[in-house]
Amino acid sequence: MTIISFGSQAEKLGALHTFSPQTEERRKICSRMGNTKSSALSKELLEELKSNTKYSEAELCTWYQSFLKECPGGKITKEQFEGIYASFFPGADPTAYARHVFRSFDTNADGTLDFKEYIVALHLTSGGKTLQKLEWAFALYDVDGNGTISKNEIQEIVRSIFNMIPADDQTKLPEDENTPEKRAEKIWAFFGKKENDKITEGEFIQGVMDNKDILRLIQYDEPQRIKDKLKEKKQ
Ligand SMILES: [Ca+2]
Ligand SMILES: [Ca+2]
């Protein structure tokens, strides 16, 4: 199945932390962590993240150190998060989309991303299983978090995706999906719903798994120039 990139969130999240020490340094960091109380990752959280993500203890320790370096308060604010997005889309307006993505990662809804939420986000967007990614996509589209998706919510997210597509790229889109309204309509029609119906999580996941076209329509399709920019940032 196609990899769900949702605009390479992982790379944008990763861009927050350019710090990537070699293995030896990682080991040092981890051993040091046991001694410094303020920067130590609790054993419980470490175990939880180890069993729920693909990351090793050494990787988690490294991520945690760089996380604290960038966010001394131990939290990523919404403004910081929007700032990361803004730096990747100089010619467009990613604010609304960034806010929705932030909300979908802020699982305890306290308005910040702590280390756990950050790591789960990284895991989901880079190497998570398809089902986990689709559960996350459902959360992204369920704007009010009531457990179902309405047509308004589809329109809302699709609009925020369109804000990230430069005007000249929008003109190259197929006729029946070249406006947020048309694209939302196409998604809605695929699920066979009436105007005021709702899409449940099960229907959403099954539908997207069964149809690559819908998978494509619910995502932000990264233009080549953004991909190039990501490559530049990595170097
Ligand atoms: Ca939070
Ligand atoms: Ca909803």
The model's pLDDT over 183-227, given as tens digits with 9 standing for 90+, comes to 999 999 999 999 999 999 999 999 999 998 898 899 886 656 656
Residue 24 has pLDDT above 50, yes or no: no
Work out how many domains the chain is built from and give that number.
1
Ion ligand 1: protein residues whose beta carbon lies under 5 Å: 106, 108, 110
Give the ligand whose atoms come closest to the C-alpha of residue 153: 2
Domain interval for residue 187: 6-234
In a domain, 181, yes or no: yes
Give the ligand whose atoms come closest to the C-alpha of residue 78: 1
Burial of 110-146, coded b for 16+ CB within 10 Å and e otherwise, reads: eebbbbbbbbbbbbbbbebeeebbbbbbbbbbbbeee
In a domain, 37, yes or no: yes
Going from the Cα of 148 to the center of ligand 2, the distance in angstroms, rounded, reads: 5
Residues 64-105 pLDDT 10s: 988 888 888 889 999 989 988 888 887 789 999 999 999 999
In a domain, 106, yes or no: yes
In a domain, 12, yes or no: yes
In a domain, 1, yes or no: no
Average pLDDT, the chain: 82
In a domain, 13, yes or no: yes
Q: Which residues contact 192 (CB under 8 A, 6 or more apart)?
A: none
Element (H, E) at 176: none
Q: Which region among 131-135, 149-153, 198-202, 206-210 has the lowest average model confidence (pLDDT)?
A: 131-135
Find the CATH number of the domain harbouring 96. 1.10.238.10
In a domain, 125, yes or no: yes
In a domain, 61, yes or no: yes
